[in-house]
Amino acid sequence: MISVGIIGGTGYTGKYLLQFIKQHEMITNYTIYANNSSGSKLLNVFPELFGVIEDQLIHSVNELSYSHDLYFVSLPHGESLKYIPTLLDKGIKVIDLGGDFRLDNKELYNEWYGFEHTSAYLLSQKVYGLADVVKTKLVKTNFISNPGCYPTSIQLALIPFIKYFANNIVTISSVSYSGTSGAGKSAKTELLLSELDGNVKAYNVNKHRHQPEIEQELKKAGMKSPFAFTTHLLPISRGIYSTSTIHLDIAIDEIEIREKYSIEYEDSIFVRMRDVPPELKWVVNSNFCDINISAKGKTVVITSTIDNLIKGASGQAVQNMNKMFGWNETLGLLKHKVS
């Protein structure tokens, strides 16, 4: 049994993290720490969770306790650096849901995130927590960096293919669509209903900060080919849908490809191989990633979809916690009823 602290738990991700923690049989208690919401009651921030979780005071991050066994950190880019090094120095386990430690190269933070990384020594110490690819039941580490939402949807779709067929890949292009909750709660004109309704648009073309993260992990899997990544905004609140097109120098039989994926995800409860392209509504409100493979001639199209707030954030974080402590990966995740 453990005690949990959540630093920055009042955003969209925090709502679901709280729900999973509340129903997790191995967590005895939890405390929320925040900046702007400190001093408020939890149910004033999340009134929809009345009757689901107990009300409690949200503490200030300036009053951070170091008494918990594990801390989830869910803060804007650059903010995690203020707390994670101290937590780790004290021997406390940390799962970071932000992007401050996902990249291996500190110089990439200047280029893609716009800040100087002040704890670069920790970049090589973290475990990148793509939970369904990390095969061991127990991840022996005090520090897991939770993957981004787009990277989760694309990497789960592509890593098995790259692992087996990298030498035959000419190019890979991934096009992804996301709901607006991926941008957080901050007010932005382009996210107003009147701007979004009936509209779709590409954004951050050739400059999305998830691109180096995706490329980093795909190269570790063996990718040698050029990779393109383009994101789009949908007029919906949540979910990510990714379509990856792979051009090959030879034709590869679809049955052979599916067999390889079956091997790779045989023990992955939260990855579901589908016979048809998945639909977004199949995974919303769940920790599942649904994947379909279609091969014709020298072209392979892989579609994948996740809930960005759960599989792309809080759900995978809880899955990583379960792996960190050697528990069943499904604890807290398969019986939630979050609206």
Active site residues: 149
C-alpha–C-alpha distance, residues 44 and 47, integer Å: 5
Residues 143 and 154 in one domain: no
Q: Look at 11-20, 306-315, 317-326 and tell me which has the smallest mean pLDDT.
A: 11-20
Judge whether 337 lies within some domain.
no
Which residue segment(s) compose the domain that 93 sits in?
A: 2-147+311-325
Question: Has residue 131 been placed in a domain?
Answer: yes
Determine the angle formed by the axes of helices 315-325 and 12-22, rounding to 10 degrees: 40
Residues 123 and 47 reside in one and the same domain: yes
Same domain? For 119 and 227 the reply is no
Kindly indicate the confidence band of residue 37, based on its pLDDT and cuts at 50, 70 and 90.
Answer: confident
How is 168-235 classified by DSSP, letter by letter? GEEEEEEEEEE-GGGG-SS--GGGSHHHHTT--EEESTTT-TTHHHHHHHHHHTT--S-EEEEEEE-S
Mean pLDDT confidence for 300-308: 98
Domain-located, residue 120:
yes
Q: Is the per-residue pLDDT at 69 higher than 90?
A: yes
pLDDT value at position 73? 97
Closest C-alpha among 130, 185, 139, 136 to residue 159: 130
Q: Are both 123 and 223 inside the same structural domain?
A: no
State pTM to two decimals: 0.93
Give how many domains the chain has, as a whole number. Answer: 2
For residue 330, is it within any domain? no
* Whole-number pLDDT of residue 12: 82
> CA separation (Å) from 85 to 93, 109, 251?
11, 17, 49
- pLDDT of res. 35: 86
CA-CA distances (angstroms) from residue 202 to 58, 177, 207, 232? 37, 9, 12, 4
CB atoms within 10 A of CB 194: 7
Question: Do residues 43 and 68 both lie within one domain?
Answer: yes
In angstroms, the CA 264 to CA 212 distance is 24
- Both 183 and 252 in a single domain? yes
Q: Is the pLDDT of residue 339 over 50?
A: no
- Shared domain check, 121 and 45: yes
Residue 338 pLDDT exceeds 70:
no
Are residue 180 and residue 79 in the same domain, yes or no? no
CA gap 306, 298 in Å, rounded: 27
